[in-house]
Amino acid sequence: MLFSNATLADGRVRDVRVDGETIAEVGTGLEADGEVVDAEGKRLLPGMIDAHVHFRQPGYSHKETWETGSKSAAAGGVTAVFDQPNTDPPTIDADGYAEKASLATASLVDYGINGGVTENWSPTELLEEPIAALGEVFLADSTGDMGIGRERFAEALDHATDAGVLVTVHAEDATRFDESATERDNADAWSAYRTAAAEIDAIERACETADEHGADIHIAHTSTPEGADIAREAGMTCEVTPHHLFLSRDDLEELGTFGRMNPPLRSETRREAMFERLVDGDIDIVATDHAPHTRAEKDASIWDAPSGVPGVETVLPLLLDEARKGRISYERLRDVTAANVADIFDLPDKGRIEAGNDADLVVVDPDDAEPIRGDNLNSKCEWTPFEGRDGVFPELTMVRGTVVYRDGEFADAVGHGQNVRA
């Protein structure tokens, strides 16, 4: 297949020839060998690598499955995902890994499977499996009740360092939660309860502990500019979610419990600062923390509703709309969604449009924005916290040379995805 006259992230207009699963050539005036996709006036980008999703299997298939989650990913231009360990059973030993790996073979996109840490995990057993990363390691309880203490965290760092595996960290300190907020029942009470200080302090201690043990860590879903600065100064990497980039406590009156997640939404001032840091290069990547729940589950009190929102299908469209408006460059967008992710998680054949790399490609019309509607999305939960916001959706998504999504239709390619570590 040949993509002709495509505009790359850096603005160059090039032909890109795909042979089998790889990019064979990037140049001008290339000859076609098979189908030609006329990409004149279109952007051709490397597929997004979402390093943080919860596809819910095993244990919670009423919320999401590998098939529905990966279709949602493909429709949003995401060509690889890393699934987190807080399923049922959790991915903390060889049996847990094997069960999830069997289910993941239904994925339309490539995937990695992360290993988890609990008080009764089996580190030697788990780290013999081809896990993508260790974590997210929960320093406070979230969905799945996998929170651990400092000693277990230090132990996990040592095991991971010996195995050459990156540790990703959910950094919140439960001792800094504000118990007085539990007397409130409005949607903002969750943000008041799980304070910004709880994240900032936890990131600082996690970085200090990692430094003491000679380990590298990656801070998941950083929601505070202070936390991002601490990670950067410590030489660690961090991610930000689309909900912490585009939503704030100002949106909670409208969102209600559908805006509850961990860490919670922050002030509008902090949200703006996070976007600025992303644009300026002080935050490494964007990852969704795609965490779907059903409408019935979310339609509860702020203290009973589960934490988490979907995002894998809307993250790239939202960022592309920001690029359309000139608020972030296409080069920076490429880096935070693909190139940097590939570097951090050691995926040398992904994340860039270069000869020899995996042909993970996304074609978009940069001017074709449309409102996001939950009813039109492919996640099993069928809702979105970004309802009504504009997004630029892909026309075509290719995973290792196979077109898995085009013009609203999926190819008969369920199970095409491969484990990036196997």
Binding residues: 52, 54-56, 86, 136, 170, 221, 289, 293
Q: Tell me, letter by letter, the H, E, C secondary structure of the chain.
A: CEEEEEECCCCCEEEEEEECCEEEEEECCCCCCCCEEECCCCEEEECEEEEEECCCCCCCCCCCCHHHHHHHHHHCCEEEEEECCCCCCCCCCHHHHHHHHHHHCCCCCEEEECECCCCCCCHHHHCCCCCCCEEEEECCCCCCCCCCCHHHHHHHHHHHHHHCCCEEEECCCHHHCCHHHHHCCCCCHHHHHCCHHHHHHHHHHHHHHHHHCCCCEEECCCCCHHHHHHHHHCCCEEEECHHHHHCCHHHHHHHHHHHCCCCCCCCHHHHHHHHHHHHHCCCCEECCCECCCCHHHHCCCCCCCCCCECCCCCHHHHHHHHHHCCCCCHHHHHHHHHHHHHHHCCCCCCCCCCCCCECCEEEECCCCEEECCHHHCCCCCCCCCCCCCEEECCCEEEECCEEEEECCEECCCCCCCCECCC
Q: Which residues are catalytic?
A: 289
